């Protein structure tokens, strides 16, 4: 049976010694990942509960980070692509190849995200999502709008 009333400072101190809160229980990134990949890793691991990822998830999580960074690099290349280059067949082929490569990377990252269960669909409870959507204020439908005369 629990003790009634306020807890003493001594009991709180003992509880803190028994179960300290540390970040050591989170899966750490491997040393061979680039800085950008480690940034994605940290974002993913810190966005989920501490025990979500274990050593068995390491390989897939590393691949996910690599695909995300590669997709971002390809996206930067596409943004930097000069539209004048598309007038030439070689430029058009290069642009098409960049688009195909980015699509492959995004598909791979999406597939890994699904398998790691880090997508919105996997992390949100359908019941609470429905309740949250019902509380959103919606604008009037076109047939409900009354024009001022």
Instruction: Tokens for 88, please give them.
Output: 């030439």
Distance from C-alpha of 70 to C-alpha of 56, rounded to nearest angstrom: 23
Helix H or strand E encompassing 106: helix 89-116
The pLDDT tens digits for 59-105 are 999 999 999 999 999 999 999 999 888 889 999 999 999 999 999 99
Residues 6+ apart with CB under 8 A from 21: none
Does any domain span residue 125?
no
Does any domain span residue 18?
no
Does any domain span residue 94?
yes
- Residue corresponding to tokens 């000069």: 82
**DSSP string over 3-29:** PPSPPPHHHHHHHHHHS---GGGSPPP
Contact between residue 129 and residue 102 where contact means Cβ atoms under 8 Å apart: no
Domains identified in the chain, total number:
1
Does any domain span residue 105?
yes
Does any domain span residue 8?
no
- Residue corresponding to tokens 């990252």: 109
Question: The pTM is what?
Answer: 0.68
19 has pLDDT over 50 = no
Does any domain span residue 11?
no
Q: Provide the pLDDT for residue 39.
A: 94
Does any domain span residue 6?
no
Q: Provide the pLDDT for residue 133.
A: 61
Range of the domain at 44: 26-120
* Terminal Cα-to-Cα distance of the chain (whole angstroms): 71
Does any domain span residue 108?
yes
Q: Provide the pLDDT for residue 34.
A: 94
25 has pLDDT over 80 = no
Distance from C-alpha of 101 to C-alpha of 107, rounded to nearest angstrom: 10
């Amino acid at each position: 049976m629990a003790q009634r009333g306020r807890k003493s400072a001594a009991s709180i101190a003992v509880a803190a010694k028994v179960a300290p809160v540390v970040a050591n229980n989170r899966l750490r990134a491997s040393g061979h990942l680039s800085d950008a990949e480690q940034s994605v890793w940290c974002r993913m691991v810190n966005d989920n509960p501490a025990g979500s990822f274990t050593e068995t998830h390491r390989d897939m999580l590393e691949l996910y980070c690599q695909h995300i960074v590669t997709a971002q690099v390809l996206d930067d290349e596409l943004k930097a692509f000069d539209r004048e280059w598309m007038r030439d067949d070689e430029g058009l082929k290069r642009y098409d190849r960049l688009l195909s490569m980015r699509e492959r990377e995004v598909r791979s990252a999406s597939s890994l995200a699904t398998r790691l269960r880090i997508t919105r669909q996997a992390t949100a409870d359908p019941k609470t999502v429905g309740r949250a959507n019902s509380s959103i204020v919606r604008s009037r439908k076109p047939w409900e709008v009354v024009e001022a005369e």
